[in-house]
Amino acid sequence: MTPVPPIAAERLPELLRRMPKAELHIHIEGSLEPELIFEMARRNRVALPYASVEELRRAYAFTNLQSFLDIYYAGASVLITERDFHDMAWAYLQKARADNVLHAEIFFDPQTHTARGVAMETVLNGLHQACVRAQADLGLSASLILCFLRHLSEAEAFETLEAALPLRDKFIGVGLDSSEVGHPPEKFARVFARCRELGLHLVAHAGEEGPPAYVWTALDLLKVERIDHGVQSTKDAQLMRRLAQDRIPLTVCPLSNLKLCVFPALGQHNLRELLDAGLVATVNSDDPAYFGGYLNDNFTQTFAATGLSAQQAWQLAANSFEASFIGADAKRRYRDQLDAAFAAFA
Ligand SMILES: [Zn+2]
């Protein structure tokens, strides 16, 4: 670990904004801002159940995962063409670059779109074009992770995988998202086994609202390399030891946890506990348009509420690169950039 000299509390937000970082838990459909939803609805002639951008913003006052998901799927209904998928991802990637994100691994939910008659190629080509453009125009590397909606069936997940395989070069892995409780990881054990044979990276949401048992089965039955959220793991000491020993990263999303009432207040978030236990915890934005902030907002608000230090800022950024699916050379390069940014700041 690179030791970081103490930095005055009032300079910490600037350090958090400036430090290079990776984002590993962002649902691209969750980056869709009300303004862009209305613009796409207009150009695609989709009728929205909201009269104005302001009314849609007001509807974002949801209280749990399910009430959020209901609005989330309504917002995604405006995405029809390749250009729409490109524009959505491009809007996110520009914001990420402004937050000094150097690398992003982006979730997308093809079933949300194919169920509406949008072709898999339309979704993947549009998103992929934005990733290619981000590397060329922003110097930001970005790759895509296909997520299965866990409230749907195993058979539907297999169909989705089949539809995506002709475009295998455009995504690096698969994940599992949507309503967690009642849909344990083991429901998708065979799908993940197939994805593993195909050489895809494997991640899954587990232990967000669901119990530590879901984290265990994500690890042991799905054989995932990263756990998305995983904050309920602190309830199980044996699981915490496993996560630390095997260096299984957790992609933690503090503002999402706050908005979905996983924690009653940001000051009560367990990020510090995860770091103190030696876990490879990272900070991410999840669905930034809906949860009140992009990556730097997650960092600055969480640090302000919990009193984490500059050393922990460095650790979280270093963890984000370690936890990413990039090669060892790229990891070393990003880590050097991180150390240089801290040295320049001190
Ligand atoms: Zn998520």
Q: How far is the CA of 8 from the centre of ligand 1 (A)?
A: 33
* Tokens coding 274: 């995860």
Residue 112 CB partners (closer than 8 Å, separation 6+): 29, 73, 76, 149
CATH of the domain at 192: 3.20.20.140
**pLDDT reported for residue 115:** 95
Catalytic position from the list 14, 208, 225, 322:
208
- The average pLDDT across 40-66 equals 86
Least Cα distance to 239 among 214, 275, 205, 265 occurs for 214
In a domain, 337, yes or no: yes
- The average pLDDT across 265-284 equals 98
**pLDDT reported for residue 294:** 98
Q: Which of 43-52, 65-74, 149-158, 180-189 is least confident?
A: 65-74
In a domain, 16, yes or no: yes
Q: How far is the CA of 190 from the centre of ligand 1 (A)?
A: 22
C-alpha distances out from residue 276 to 22, 150, 166, 280, Å: 21, 31, 44, 10
In a domain, 117, yes or no: yes
In a domain, 71, yes or no: no
Q: How far is the CA of 280 from the centre of ligand 1 (A)?
A: 17
Contact 140, 101 (CB under 8 A): yes
How far apart are the C-alpha atoms of 178 and 185, rounded to whole Å? 12
Q: What is the chain's mean pLDDT, rounded?
A: 95
- 25: annotated binding-site residue? yes
Contact 21, 102 (CB under 8 A): yes
Question: Hunting for tokens 């909201």 — which residue is that?
Answer: 50
Q: pLDDT tens digits, residue range 306-341?
A: 999 999 999 999 999 999 999 999 999 999 999 999
Instruction: Read off the pLDDT band of 72 (50, 70, 90).
Output: confident
Long-range contacts of range 166-172, CB-CB < 8 Å, 24 or more positions apart? 167/120, 167/121, 167/124, 167/125, 167/128, 168/198, 170/124, 170/125, 170/127, 170/128, 170/144, 171/124, 171/143, 171/144, 171/145, 171/146, 171/200, 172/105, 172/143, 172/144, 172/145, 172/200, 172/201, 172/325
**pLDDT reported for residue 293:** 96
Q: How far is the CA of 88 from the centre of ligand 1 (A)?
A: 17
Instruction: Read off the pLDDT band of 32 (50, 70, 90).
Output: very high
Task: Answer yes or no: is pLDDT of 4 > 90.
Answer: no
- The average pLDDT across 108-119 equals 96
In a domain, 257, yes or no: yes
**pLDDT reported for residue 56:** 86
Q: Hey, what amino acid is at 120?
A: M
Q: What are the start-end ranges of the H helices in the chain?
A: 12-18, 34-44, 53-58, 65-76, 82-98, 110-114, 120-138, 154-164, 189-197, 212-220, 237-245, 254-259, 271-276, 288-291, 295-306, 310-322, 328-345
Q: Which of 62-76, 164-178, 329-343 is least confident?
A: 62-76
208 in catalytic set: yes
pTM: 0.96
Task: Answer yes or no: is pLDDT of 63 > 80.
Answer: no
How far apart are the C-alpha atoms of 34 and 47, rounded to whole Å? 14
In a domain, 86, yes or no: yes
Task: Answer yes or no: is pLDDT of 66 > 90.
Answer: no
Least Cα distance to 312 among 343, 283, 269 occurs for 283
Q: pLDDT tens digits, residue range 233-248?
A: 999 999 999 999 999 9
Q: In the chain, pLDDT over 70 holds for what percent of residues?
A: 100
Burial of 336 (0-12, 13-18, 19+ CB in 10 A): exposed
In a domain, 50, yes or no: no
- In the chain, the N- to C-terminal Cα span, in Å, equals 17
Domain that residue 28 falls in: 9-32+82-345
Q: How far is the CA of 205 from the centre of ligand 1 (A)?
A: 7
**pLDDT reported for residue 346:** 82
**pLDDT reported for residue 148:** 98
Q: At what angle do helices 310-322 and 295-306 cross, to 10 degrees?
A: 140
In a domain, 73, yes or no: no
**pLDDT reported for residue 297:** 98
Task: Answer yes or no: is pLDDT of 71 > 90.
Answer: no
- 113: annotated binding-site residue? no
Q: How far is the CA of 105 from the centre of ligand 1 (A)?
A: 12
Total domains, the chain: 1
- 286: annotated binding-site residue? yes
Q: Which of 75-79, 84-88, 102-106, 166-170 is least confident?
A: 75-79
Instruction: Read off the pLDDT band of 103 (50, 70, 90).
Output: very high
Could you give phi then psi for residue 314, rounded to 5 degrees? -60, -45
* Tokens coding 235: 């309830």
**pLDDT reported for residue 42:** 94
How far apart are the C-alpha atoms of 272 and 120, rounded to whole Å? 40
- The average pLDDT across 188-212 equals 97
How far apart are the C-alpha atoms of 270 and 273, rounded to whole Å? 5
Question: Hunting for tokens 């083991």 — which residue is that?
Answer: 186
Contact 31, 99 (CB under 8 A): no
Q: How far is the CA of 208 from the centre of ligand 1 (A)?
A: 9
Residue 99 CB partners (closer than 8 Å, separation 6+): 17, 21, 294, 295, 296
Task: Answer yes or no: is pLDDT of 82 > 90.
Answer: yes
- 276: annotated binding-site residue? no
**pLDDT reported for residue 183:** 92
Label residue 280 left, alpha or beta by phi (over 0 means left) and psi (-120 to 50 means alpha): beta
- The average pLDDT across 217-241 equals 98
Q: Counting every residue, how long is the chain? A: 346
- 205: annotated binding-site residue? yes
How far apart are the C-alpha atoms of 31 and 131, rounded to whole Å? 15
Q: How far is the CA of 194 from the centre of ligand 1 (A)?
A: 23
Q: How far is the CA of 145 from the centre of ligand 1 (A)?
A: 12
